[in-house]
Amino acid sequence: MTGSDFGRAVRGWRERVSPETVGLPLGGQRRAAGLRREELALLAGISVDYVIRLEQGRSSHPSVQIVEALARALRVNANEREHLFRLAGLVPPGQGTVPAYLTPSVQRMLDRLTGTPVAVYDAALNLLVANPMYTALFGELRGRDRNAVWRNLLGSGTRVRHTPEARRAFEAGLVGDLRRTASRYPDDQRLQRLIADLRTHSERFAELWDSGTVGRQEVSRKIVDHPEVGPVTLDCDLLSVAGSDLRVMVYTAEPDTEDAQRLALLGVLGTQPLGCAEVSDPASEARASR
């Protein structure tokens, strides 16, 4: 397999995906059916230049993270996803790694919940997909901030309001959840690197990790302090996907309340349409810039 094979597959699958199916506007006249390169780049969270280089076969060694993001953006099925990994010269993630594959049915559900903040996390608490309403509610999450544990202990933090006691319980729940995942996927190297980096850079994580806490983050009613619409009280529900370790996080407001009005206003204000959180892959970006 060559980089050209990978690029041809990406281009062919890009041309069969209509913008409407991924929640993007048509945007005027189109010379060809399917997604534009800039739209695929937006959905996959990579640069347009990198998409061009991949399709032209000038960047032939994308990382696992990049291939996974492209597979999600292109709405490929399980067999096509495996084929895309093979074309990239990679072994598809197996049973020993944290699952990150979104089935077409889950993706269709996300595409239809346009007025509700929804995101999908994997078992390691990495943000895989966020719809525009979720991004508008919490802001764009980039780089290592895509991981909820890193974001809340070392990164940009959260817009969710916590009392000091609730904050401590929230952090313990995050670390305990990650420990449960680590016990189920002991051979996942990316997960092990995350844990090692958290231990090195966060005293709070090291304290909780060494205490042996095991658990799962609790979801409930939350107050989100949004910089434009103000505080919004929302119910947070965490849904599991049958046959997978994915978590679908859904935020809703009680009907006919000020919170529902503020959430509706947020939908009007919005943000740029994002189907996936940005994929940060320094090695791949470095190769793409050469």
The H or E element that residue 206 is part of is helix 203-210
* Cα–Cα distance measured from residue 207 to residue 106, given in angstroms and rounded to the nearest whole number: 36
pLDDT at 282: 38
pLDDT at 290: 40
Are the C-beta atoms of residues 205 and 149 closer than 8 Å to each other?
yes
Tell me the per-residue pLDDT of 226-244, one tens digit each, with 9 for 90 and over: 999 999 999 999 998 877 8
Q: Which residues of the chain have pLDDT under 50?
A: 1, 272-277, 282-290
* Cα–Cα distance measured from residue 290 to residue 288, given in angstroms and rounded to the nearest whole number: 6
* Cα–Cα distance measured from residue 133 to residue 140, given in angstroms and rounded to the nearest whole number: 11
DSSP string, 187-198: T-HHHHHHHHHH
- The CA angle 285-289-290, to the nearest 5 degrees, is 125
Pairing status of strand 127-130 against strand 118-121: antiparallel
pLDDT at 94: 73
- The CA angle 176-179-182, to the nearest 5 degrees, is 160
How far, in Å, are 77, 187, 261 from residue 112 at the CA level?
Answer: 19, 35, 20
Identify the three-state secondary structure at position 249: strand
- Sorted by sequence, the CB contacts under 8 Å of residue 247 that are 6+ apart come out as 120, 121, 122, 123, 238, 239, 240, 241
pTM of the model: 0.76
Tell me the per-residue pLDDT of 253-290, one tens digit each, with 9 for 90 and over: 999 999 999 999 998 887 544 344 455 553 444 443 34
* DSSP 8-state symbol, 47: -
